[in-house]
Amino acid sequence: MAKNQPVVPKGLPVISQRELTIAVKVAAKNAGFDLVGITPATSPPGFARFTEWLNQGFAGEMQYLPRRAGAYAHPEHVMPGVSSVIMLAINYHTGASLSSLAESSLAEVSSETARVARYAQGTLDYHDLLRAKLKQLATTLHELQPGCHTRGVVDTAPLLERDFARLAGLGWFGKNTMLINKRAGSWLLLAAMLTDLELEADPIHETAHCGTCTRCLDVCPTDAFVAPYVLDARRCISYLTIELRQPIPLELREGIGDWLFGCDLCQDVCPWNRKAPLTLEPTFQPQQDLHPASALKILKLSEAEFVTRYKSTPLARPGWEGLRRNAAIVLGNSGDSALIPELEASLDDASPLVREALEWAITQLGKTAAENQGH
């Protein structure tokens, strides 16, 4: 018997590779994944590009990436003996963006209104959601093939998920570096199931369908795209508001606008997302206090209140100080000088990180007030 072929204990029906592959895909859909594709475990074609990206310093403070860079060379480093990579995606598209809601008067918008990226507006951290679905899928795989080995991965292991998603036929890379699927667009969260089972591979998605379109590149207010398909994370609003633990660079603060956490701009403008289907997953539905969020309320949160409200959501990632820093930047960009007393009142109990952002915001709003008086 060939290495990693299905082993069927006595008493169980013999199942072919084709039948097993179909059963795996059905199990993935039953677990709640919207897309599933399979590719052999191989060295990802984007590994050299990833290494060069790291060497350019584009990862910023995300030192967990270069620290284990070599492990991205092959999924064998994630799971020894792996033969197949089952790539999975779940749709998190919940509908209208905040800007279009505001235009139709469906949301209360004020000078303290702040935006939160779509994937983070729901009730649960997507890592927890996807891990639960991976666990369900793994259980079914072990029922189909007792003795097989699996490992589920959600964006925390050294695996180039988007590379393997393309190899598994799930889509192509947009110029904003996102994976785009012809039917589902790019509102996708990826996960992978590694297994030692030899499954039938899906055709690779060889062709990109972006043509001459550059809307995603043009819309970025902080010019985070060095070139098509190349993102400098150090200038990306998502990185600045989620991963960066230091003060946000002065020259990028105005570009952040009203983004409290993350950013959806380069996906909002993508033509492939115009007809993207809505998610059926209830945990992604926007919570009232996150769509829109109040930057002023976030700023005034105590640490205990922050933990209670956000500990199981993506907004826990930047931490209490990081989220309050972001809120101060948003308020500084609001142009509403009436907020200055509120900001000044928050100075006394602020950490150095938050205090610096507050002082910047007060200065910005003071300039706005002076300009308005001059007119």
Catalytic amino acids? 155
**Residue 179, beta-bridge partner list:** 173
User: Residue with structure tokens 């059926």?
Assistant: 280
Instruction: Compute the distance between CA of residue 212 and CA of residue 24 in angstroms, rounded to an integer.
Output: 38
CA separation (Å) from 285 to 152, 242, 252, 266? 25, 21, 30, 21
Q: 205, 190, 197: which is closest to 159 by C-alpha?
A: 190
Instruction: Compute the distance between CA of residue 180 and CA of residue 172 in angstroms, rounded to an integer.
Output: 5
Instruction: Compute the distance between CA of residue 363 and CA of residue 50 in angstroms, rounded to an integer.
Output: 40
CA separation (Å) from 106 to 116, 262, 284? 16, 22, 19
Torsion angle of C-alpha atoms 355, 361, 255, 56, degrees rounded to 10:
-30
Instruction: Compute the distance between CA of residue 101 and CA of residue 86 in angstroms, rounded to an integer.
Output: 37
